[in-house]
Amino acid sequence: MSSYLVDVVERKEVHLVGLAIKESLNKVMETKIGGKLRKELERRQSEVENRTGSGMYLIQIYPQDGHWTPDVPYRHIFAYEVESFARIPGDMVSYTLPAGRFIKVVHKGAESQIGDTYDFINQTYGVRPIDIEYWNDIHTLENEDNQIDIYVPR
């Protein structure tokens, strides 16, 4: 069973380096490519220079026309925060999350139950350009006491 807490927060600009794909939600769920990319990035974390902390981000950038459905491809970035951009491996990407005000929704429970939290977010906040997930420890994602921070721009 999942539960969530909601707060409004100001976030600083965050520089990220990691792996990216453009795929639909349904295809990501079907192929489990997200989990594969998460594990690949963790395996290659030593290649990410100037990395800060051990947590990992998932940035989901939706089509700007607002016509997103689970069958429409969009950009997924699995990344680590870095102090600054240094040498970026050729098959990785850099991305800067802008500073600003965000709604922080804390999903508590297994990652496999996060759909309930996104149903709440979608019903409450509607269409948005981006979702940001922060996983403190990718090894505990299926634990009942797991916590995933989700940031929605406001």
pTM for this structure?
0.92
Distances, alpha carbon 143 to alpha carbons 24, 105, 117, 121, 137, in Å: 26, 18, 16, 22, 11
Domain ranges for the chain, please list them.
3-153
Which one-letter DSSP state was computed for residue 51? B
CATH for the 3-153 domain, from 2.102.10.10, 3.20.20.60, 2.40.30.10, 3.20.80.10: 3.20.80.10
pLDDT at 3: 55
Q: Do residues 103 and 125 lie in contact, with contact meaning Cβ atoms separated by under 8 Å?
A: yes
pLDDT at 1: 47
Q: List, for the chain, all residue ranges whose pLDDT scores fall below the cut of 70.
A: 1-4
pLDDT at 67: 77
Distances, alpha carbon 111 to alpha carbons 17, 137, 146, in Å: 22, 12, 8
